[in-house]
């Protein structure tokens, strides 16, 4: 217990003194995860809304597949992306392997099914009812879409925040496609894993504290926004 306390104290000092490498890693982690969540949201939100409210052939199969993809093993995603981006891979000519762009691609593949699944599940249950009410009141397809987005805005925010949480806490895929290169592709999770393996528990703990603070901040924003939305009704 005393060792843990000493490591925790050293971690706090490390954060306060402003270690340049630590803050560089934090900024890169935020850049990669925010970018991945943004691009994933552009794909997942329309896809989740559309497939949720529409009835189509093999929808049950699609649902099972989507829920399966929500639990994709990160190392498998990282391996697939690494193969595609390798010199002999389909996208090898772009030389993206061991870059932050490769890490973003891997995180997009991990996050997209999660955001899609959350929105799809809510739209499947409530989406058709919302659209029917809009059409009954004489609204157009544009009005129905706008009403659906308005009524599901909290769900979409939850989905985005959940996706971001998955992205920023992921280690397996980014380790494979990024390589954990110092000043280049080293992010918070790979930094923690590396220092833990080396026995540098203070540095690992310092980065863990940063991750917890980011998670707390994001969830606080979600909670406050959600409470504000509930107060409107």
Has residue 56 got a pLDDT over 90?
no
Has residue 126 got a pLDDT over 50?
yes
Tell me the pLDDT band of 110, cut-offs 50, 70 and 90. very high
Answering whether pTM is above 0.85, one says: yes
Q: In this structure, is residue 99 part of a structural domain? A: yes
Q: Report the C-alpha gap between 53 and 39 in whole angstroms.
A: 22
Tell me the pLDDT band of 49, cut-offs 50, 70 and 90. very high
Q: In this structure, is residue 10 part of a structural domain? A: no
Q: Report the C-alpha gap between 204 and 194 in whole angstroms.
A: 8
Has residue 132 got a pLDDT over 50?
yes
Q: In this structure, is residue 108 part of a structural domain? A: yes
Q: In this structure, is residue 2 part of a structural domain? A: no
pLDDT of residue 228: 58
Tell me the pLDDT band of 70, cut-offs 50, 70 and 90. very high
Mean pLDDT to the nearest integer, 83-110: 94
Task: Quote the mean pLDDT of the chain.
Answer: 87
Has residue 183 got a pLDDT over 60?
yes
Q: In this structure, is residue 5 part of a structural domain? A: no
Q: Which residue has the higher pLDDT, 222 or 50?
A: 50
Q: Which residue has the higher pLDDT, 143 or 76?
A: 76
Mean pLDDT to the nearest integer, 128-136: 82
Q: How many CA atoms, within 13 angstroms, populate the side-chain half-sphere of residue 105? A: 20
Q: In this structure, is residue 173 part of a structural domain? A: yes
Comparing CA positions, the residue from 164, 154, 148 lying closest to residue 218 is 164
Question: How would DSSP label each residue in 23-61?
Answer: HHHHHHHHHHHHHHHHHHHHHHHHHHHHHHH---TTHHH
User: Is the distance from CB of 21 to CB of 187 less than 8 angstroms?
Assistant: no
Q: Residue 126: which CATH number?
A: 1.10.3720.10
Total number of residues shown for the chain: 233
Mean pLDDT to the nearest integer, 132-158: 84
Has residue 230 got a pLDDT over 70?
no
Considering Cα of 93, then 97, then 101, then 102, what sign does the dihedral take?
positive
Which domain covers residue 100, as residue numbers? 20-223
pLDDT of residue 233: 45
Mean pLDDT to the nearest integer, 148-166: 89
Question: How would DSSP label each residue in 109-125?
Answer: HHHHHHHHHHHHHHIII
Of the ranges 77-81, 140-144, 179-183, the best mean pLDDT one: 77-81
Has residue 225 got a pLDDT over 80?
no
Q: Report the C-alpha gap between 36 and 91 in whole angstroms.
A: 19
How many separate domains does the chain show? 1
């Amino acid at each position: 217990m005393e060792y843990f306390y000493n490591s925790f104290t050293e971690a706090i000092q490390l954060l306060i003194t402003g270690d340049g490498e630590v803050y560089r890693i934090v900024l890169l982690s935020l850049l990669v995860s925010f970018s991945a969540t943004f691009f994933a949201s552009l794909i997942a939100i329309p896809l989740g809304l559309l497939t949720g409210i529409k009835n189509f052939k093999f929808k049950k199969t699609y649902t099972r597949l989507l829920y399966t993809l929500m639990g994709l093993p990160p190392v498998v995603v990282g391996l697939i992306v690494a193969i595609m981006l390798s010199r002999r891979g389909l996208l090898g000519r772009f030389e993206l392997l061991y870059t932050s762009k490769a890490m973003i691609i891997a995180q997009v593949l991990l996050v997209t099914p999660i955001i899609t699944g959350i929105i799809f599940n809510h739209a499947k249950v409530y989406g058709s009812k919302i659209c029917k009410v809009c059409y009954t009141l004489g609204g157009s397809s544009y009005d129905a879409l706008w009403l659906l987005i308005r009524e599901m805005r909290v769900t979409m925010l939850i989905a985005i925040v959940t996706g971001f949480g998955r992205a920023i806490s992921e280690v397996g895929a980014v380790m494979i496609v990024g390589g954990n290169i110092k000043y280049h592709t080293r992010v918070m999770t790979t930094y923690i894993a590396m220092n833990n393996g080396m026995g540098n528990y203070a540095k690992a703990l310092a980065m863990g504290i940063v991750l917890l603070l980011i998670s707390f901040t994001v969830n606080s924003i979600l909670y406050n926004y959600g409470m504000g939305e509930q107060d409107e009704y």
